[in-house]
Copies of this chain bind each other. A is one copy, B any other.
């Protein structure tokens, strides 16, 4: 059998695997991605993309395409049974209530469309998915605690791959430094490693159907929760005038579930029946399908999290392989992509020999906690959703107030904006006070600043691309006066000293590892980009001012939004994944040095 070595073998080319593959493509790593499917997903499946995921996609330059191809959902609507027996609207609200979301809406794009964002971005960087390929053997060659496992240059994982589209020479051996299993809820990798799933299945059975509707229902283009006396549905607008309906199946339909496998017998259901049920629930409005149904399925909600996310930090799992939950809050694809966005830069640092293997431990710590929270959220949400509405006959039913209150309470969570990673070697909040609103462990808050050199307004998120570099963002008082200029000169000296992390962990050219931005509270028209010491202007675009743009449409108030005293300033360290790693006063470079010493080599 042919044998070869790779840095990273990714098994499963869904959103989770592709997020990781694209993040590492073209960066000098030897990465392969295999998938058992002969072709990609063409319709249906996961579709909801939440605000934090928009920001992550933007950090890879992919958001422009999502905006073009996906559908924006700005509104939630809620319906309950009315006095006449038909449904009536209770309320319309914003789909997203997080004020700092850069993109204040949720989006939908069918899973295959989202996968293509990555596939098309990877191709020019020389990485393509190898399809019709499955692993048949997966082994860790070294014992726990062995030196081989601690050596990031070793190839301790052996995988046998089978190419289903070949009749001879269909098997090969791959020796990998790391293997990532992103092969879905029924993950072969997870099972091969004997990783257990904690949790169980609910008793809620739902059907989901994508089609073009003909209807007089006025909220068909909102994300609409409908409780009726005939059951419940969730309406989710889809791209290109499609609509997705999640239809709660009746108790009778529960017989479709095989109690052993918790799988649903799809043969007993049909999309026509789902739409018929939905039409009954939607009364007094009418609903018909135009043309063929695009995609449909029936499922029972599982709520489970893997007991661990890796074996020895060499064989890692992510996405649906780690966690399954209800699709109705639109979280699945987001959690999956979030996993590998979190993991990719850590793998890059370890593979380059820049960081200790212990950095990989933070992947499980950060993402398993998130997955557990997700299940808790999902339990509340699914129960509310599947419960009967409160009516005269059911005074123990679910009230609209309970639904809405849950919706708001979990808004930060479901949008992804509110995710906060706990203190660790890469989350250090001892100086939180110096940037009181930039919560260490949360994502950097987007805000518009102005280029000092050309007065162009730019969202700071666009200066924080997911390029595997840490971003050192220095906020400083007006540099045209001594209040700003003096401390900035002092900082420049400390940053260029022997002891500085730039020198110690910069690997020759510190700009390969760290990008440096400088934001001053000076006035837009009075400061020059040449007013800051050279270390802060590797390029003219790296010097910014917290002021409004010429058109008066954006910018200004950044120091206040971040809780940074304009007189004192602050150093903000943004991780390669866009999360605030630590903050410190301008005169505490030693604490930044200590932060990086905690995991960098």
Contact = CB atoms under 8 A, between A and B. Distances in A.
B550 A104 contact: yes
A553 interface: yes
A73 interface: yes
A530 interface: yes
A549 B74 contact: yes
Interface stretch (A125-133, A140-148, A184-192, A450-458): A450-458
B453 A221 contact: yes
Interface string A203-234: 00000000000001011111000000000000
A66 to B, nearest CB: 13
A529 interface: yes
A411 B46 CA distance: 50
Contacts of A455: 74-75, 92, 94, 222
Contacts of A218: 453, 528-530
Please report whether the interface of chain A is mostly helix, strand, loop or mixed according to DSSP.
loop
Nearest to A453: B221
Nearest to A74: B455
A222 B456 CA distance: 10
Interface string A523-534: 001001110000
Interface in A545-594: 549-551, 553
Copies assembled: 2
A495 B18 CA distance: 53
A61 to B, nearest CB: 10
A104 B551 contact: yes
Contacts of A549: 74, 104
Interface string A73-86: 11100000000000
B75 A454 contact: yes
Contact of A222 (B94, B96, B237, B454): B454
A92 B545 CA distance: 15
A530 B215 CA distance: 10
B456 A72 contact: yes
A105 interface: yes
Contacts of A553: 104
Contacts of A75: 454-455, 550
Contact of A74 (B93, B99, B222, B456): B456
Nearest to A67: B64
Given A528-B218, A529-B218, A540-B221, A456 B92 contact: no
Contact of A550 (B95, B530, B550, B551): B95
Contacts of A105: 456, 551
Interface in A281-340: none
A72 B221 CA distance: 36
Of listed A74, A99, A528, A529, residue having the most chain B CB within 10 A: A74
Contacts of A237: 454
A105 B550 CA distance: 9
Interface in A103-151: 104-105
A550 B74 contact: yes
A453 to B, nearest CB: 4
A73 B454 contact: yes
Contacts of A540: 220-221
Interface in A330-355: none
A44 B64 CA distance: 28
A311 to B, nearest CB: 43
Of A68, A101, A530, A550, chain B has the most CB atoms within 10 Å of the CB of A550
A549 B457 CA distance: 22
A553 B105 CA distance: 12
A77 to B, nearest CB: 9
Contacts of A93: 550
A104 B457 CA distance: 11
Contacts of A64: 64, 68
A566 to B, nearest CB: 22
A475 to B, nearest CB: 21
Interface centre among A92, A96, A457, A551 (most CB of B within 10 A): A551
B74 A454 contact: yes
15 contacts: A74-B457, A74-B550, A75-B550, A92-B455, A92-B525, A94-B455, A94-B550, A101-B551, A104-B550, A104-B551, A105-B551, A220-B540, A221-B453, A222-B455, A237-B454
Interface of A: 64, 68, 72-75, 92-96, 99, 101, 104-105, 216, 218-222, 237, 451, 453-457, 525, 528-530, 540, 549-551, 553
Sorted from nearest, which 5 A-B pairs have the closest CB atoms?
A94-B550, A218-B528, A221-B454, A104-B551, A75-B455
Given A64-B68, A92-B455, A104-B550, 11 more contacts: A73-B454, A74-B457, A74-B549, A75-B455, A94-B455, A96-B551, A101-B551, A104-B553, A218-B528, A220-B453, A221-B540
